[in-house]
Amino acid sequence: MYRLASVVLVAAVLLGTGCETLGSRALRGERGNYNIALQQSNDEQLLLNLVRLRYRDNPVFLDVGNITTQFSLETTLDAGIEAEESAGDIFSLGGGVTYNTSPTIQYTPLSGEDFQQRLMTPLGLDRMLLLYQAGWSLKRVFTVLVQRLNNLENAVRASGPTPGSAPEYETFQQALEAMRGLERLGLLELVQENLLDGEPRSRVVLSLKEGAWDQPQAELLARLLGLSRRKLLYPIIPRGLVQGVDVPQGDYIMVETRSPLGAMFFLSHAVDTPEDDQRTGKVTTTRTNAGQAFDWHDVTSEVFEVKTSAIRPTQASTAVRYRGAWFYIADTNLETKSSFAMLNQLLILQSKPAEAPPPVLTLPVGR
């Protein structure tokens, strides 16, 4: 009898020790799973909204407001003893420890006047500079977020639903390539210049380094943008605020930025669609002056491209199913993945979290 009690005591200690470590193991495993699921869900929602814009459907944003998880622990212990005259006592011991999780996820729609205004307000130069300083290339930032540079247009009408006529963009791309060439040589960058005249203030400046004017790209850039030559600093000014500028026109650069929604529309034109949807008019086909179909990849292919497939793709970083077809970003398309990540950061910058939002949809997820 004493032997049975000892065995039961040892089993209880072992089970108790297991309970102490089980919680930490569950935390490590579940947190990683939720982290991955949340990242994939956010990427799929953003890609889905880009596809919706390509079809002129309304985008919808749902924010995961809260995730709570309850852990339940169940333990079992069975013990028995058999006594025979010809042998010693025979003990049997069995048991187990199991745990279950019951997560509850709260979704909050991002809507209302404040969110819509932020979504449709052109990006401020400070935000554009912040993205550039965060490591995104000048070409990527300007291609996606700038629609006019002085008098050069970068597919201005692409900031809305797919236009029927081909946009102007070639000269803008030439200027951007000149800037990119100087940037690669370490002779050009965007900087924030602090002004000390009167009240403290700052401005965004296109800065050229010594030796830049020895390069043909600088001469090309000056010609395309109508800049005064041989200068090293060119203030960047939002289009529409020229009245307050007291310097010659060739000494500064006017910039017209897209809104976050405009940037989404711009990238949505790079979403490939099934030929049947094009033939039946479910999506707009842009045409050149000669009446030929315009290829939007000429505008966006270096920074963004979404492919389509009738079956689920196997080599995709993000994929969604919509209108009976699959739309996906190829896992090997690093340029598209980078632009997609930058767009995600832009939306985070422009989104203001609601104060104490009431959950609109609460889903208790089954075990």
pLDDT per position as a tens digit, 8-54: 454 455 455 555 555 566 566 667 777 788 788 899 999 999 999 99
pLDDT per position as a tens digit, 141-195: 999 999 999 999 999 999 999 999 999 999 999 999 999 999 999 999 999 888 7
- Max Cα distance, the chain (Å): 113
Strands (E), 287-340: 307-309, 316-322, 325-330
Q: What's the pLDDT at 366? A: 43
pLDDT of 241 over the 80 cut: no
pLDDT of 365 over the 50 cut: no
pLDDT over 90, % of the chain: 56
Tokens of 364: 């208790």
Do 68 and 90 touch, CB atoms closer than 8 A? no
Measured between alpha carbons, how far is residue 338 from residues 48, 62, 259, 289 in Å? Answer: 17, 23, 19, 33
Mean pLDDT computed over 214-240:
92
Hey, what's the torsion of the CAs at 143, 149, 154, 159, to 10 degrees? 80
User: Which of the residue ranges 225-234, 247-256, 341-350 would you say has the lowest mean pLDDT?
Assistant: 247-256
Q: What's the pLDDT at 283? A: 95
Q: Per residue in 3-27, is it b (16+ CB within 10 Å) or e — as a string?
A: eeeeeeeebeeeeeeeeeebeeebe
Q: How far apart are CA 361 and CA 107, in angstroms?
A: 5
User: Which of the residue ranges 4-18, 199-213, 248-262 would you say has the lowest mean pLDDT?
Assistant: 4-18
Q: What's the pLDDT at 1? A: 53
Q: How far apart are CA 235 and CA 240, in angstroms?
A: 14
Mean pLDDT computed over 241-249:
56
Higher local confidence (pLDDT), 168 or 249: 168
Do 154 and 169 touch, CB atoms closer than 8 A? yes
Q: What's the pLDDT at 95? A: 58
Q: What's the pLDDT at 360? A: 39
Query: pTM of the predicted model, to two decimals?
Result: 0.78
